[in-house]
């Protein structure tokens, strides 16, 4: 077998130019496929982080009536018991209690509808990392009267900067309209500019004062140590608090759940298509090699080489050719992804604003899990074996007697 391996390796270099072209084709095809997969995985990972961990959280809890009418009067009556449960649960990384109201934001230049979210600054920073998204001014704190955080796009529209005065109008006690003046403490920016334009953040205690309520909570966002346990955790909360509406990120944002589930499958299909296309080129190369060496193969069988060994030799030649190109392609892709992992690939010049509208970062950090390379290697081996069958069968049809007669 060792001798057969050496012969097979030497055979693929007998026509050096043809083998090199085939190896380069396989290398470039796999490099492109893996890099495209890495970009897709990177985009989805960032999209998941931006939408789930910075906005939705892994699990949300509401009063069921609140999800129907979105009125601040529908509060979580069992907030104290829920808080105690979340505090002692080891699965919970952080959680944030919020008061949510629909209202209007008015400035000297524009009036627009917004979602007013009352937060506890410390809890919100631990849950959504809102503090890290401040691009101008300071994070909302307890100093000063009625501080507010607004998104950068909204700030640009209303020409507001830290220290600017704006007015919020919302429904207060007894369904009466309440207007209050706020000062911009800071301006934040996330990858989802559409959400940045709609959501403004104020202190939960201050908003509750205007609503004439004490420690009221409309929404609780929960961040878990392992997001894959979101469904199990939500089911446990439903049992403990049957009167509350407990939803996972997948229920709140089903499109993200679909992307998360389908991403690996779709990328696998793309790579299979790439390998299928490359297999035709590989098949053509090996058939040409067999036809060119028909007399030689016949002579080998005439002097006693078993057809089984001829079949294995063609299989090894095909596998060596495929694996050489595949390993070079995977190495090139690994080096490319590694070099861009810390710096990212800036797509702003080719539609970064459009990406931001969809909640994606314009700077993408390619990412591929190690298991992806293992899976791809298995696919390459399967492709090589399947592709080698037809040329090997052609080689077995060579008649030894005819080869000897032609040589004579």
> What residues does each domain of the chain span?
2-52+256-407, 64-243
pLDDT above 90 covers a percentage of the chain that reads 32
What's the confidence (pLDDT) of residue 292? 75
Q: Average pLDDT in the 145-153 region?
A: 91
**The tokens of 36 are what?**
């495209």
HEC-encoded secondary structure of 337-365? HHHHHCCCEECHHHCHHHHHHCCCCCEEC
pTM (2 decimals)? 0.72
What's the pLDDT at 147? 94
Region for residue 280 given its phi and psi (left: phi exceeds 0; alpha: psi -120 to 50; beta: otherwise): alpha
Higher-scoring residue by pLDDT: 224, 312: 224
Write out the two tokens for 165: 């005065």
- The tally of CA atoms less than 13 A away on the side-chain side of residue 75 is 16
Distance between CA atoms of residues 295 and 42, nearest Å: 52
Q: What does the pLDDT read at residue 224?
A: 93
Residue 241 to residues 74, 246, 310, 331: CA-CA distances in angstroms? 16, 9, 70, 52
pLDDT in tens, 308-323: 887 888 888 888 888 8
Check residue 295 and give its pLDDT.
75
Residues 6+ apart with CB under 8 A from 138: 162, 185, 186
Is residue 299 predicted with pLDDT exceeding 80? no
């Amino acid at each position: 077998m060792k001798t057969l391996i050496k012969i097979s390796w030497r055979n693929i270099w007998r026509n050096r130019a043809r083998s090199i072209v085939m190896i380069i084709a396989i290398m470039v095809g796999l490099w492109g496929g893996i890099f495209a997969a890495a970009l897709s995985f990177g985009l989805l990972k960032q999209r998941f982080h931006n939408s789930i961990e910075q906005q939705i959280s892994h699990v949300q809890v509401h009063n069921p009536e609140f999800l129907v009418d979105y009125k601040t009067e529908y509060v979580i009556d069992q907030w104290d018991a829920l808080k105690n449960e979340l505090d002692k649960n080891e699965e919970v990384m952080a959680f944030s209690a919020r008061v949510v109201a629909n209202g209007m934001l008015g400035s000297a230049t524009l009036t627009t509808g917004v979602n007013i979210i009352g937060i506890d600054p410390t809890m919100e920073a631990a849950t959504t990392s809102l503090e890290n998204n401040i691009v101008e001014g300071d994070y909302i704190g307890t100093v000063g009267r009625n501080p507010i955080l607004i998104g950068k796009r909204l700030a640009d529209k209303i020409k507001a900067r830290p220290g600017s005065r704006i007015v919020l109008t919302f429904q207060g006690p007894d369904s009466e309209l309440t207007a209050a003046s706020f000062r911009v403490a800071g301006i934040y920016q996330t990858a989802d500019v559409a959400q940045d334009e709609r959501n403004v953040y104020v202190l939960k205690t201050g908003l509750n004062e205007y609503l004439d309520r004490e420690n009221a909570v409309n929404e609780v966002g929960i961040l878990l140590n392992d997001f894959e346990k979101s469904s199990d955790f939500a089911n446990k909360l439903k049992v403990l608090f049957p009167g509350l509406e407990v939803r996972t990120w997948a229920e709140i944002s089903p499109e993200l759940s679909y992307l998360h589930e389908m991403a690996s499958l779709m990328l696998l299909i793309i790579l299979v298509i790439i390998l299928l296309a490359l297999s035709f080129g590989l098949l053509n190369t090996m058939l040409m090699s067999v036809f060119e060496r028909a007399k030689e193969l016949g002579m080998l069988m005439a002097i006693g080489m078993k057809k089984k060994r001829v079949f294995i030799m063609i299989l090894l030649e095909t596998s060596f050719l495929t694996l050489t190109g595949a390993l070079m392609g995977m190495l090139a892709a690994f080096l490319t992804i590694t070099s861009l992992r810390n710096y990212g690939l800036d797509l702003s010049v080719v539609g970064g604003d459009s990406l931001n509208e969809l909640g994606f970062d314009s700077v993408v950090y390619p990412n591929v899990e190690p298991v992806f390379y293992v899976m791809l290697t298995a696919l390459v081996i399967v492709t090589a074996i399947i592709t080698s069958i037809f040329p090997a069968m052609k080689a077995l049809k060579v008649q030894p007697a005819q080869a000897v007669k032609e040589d004579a």
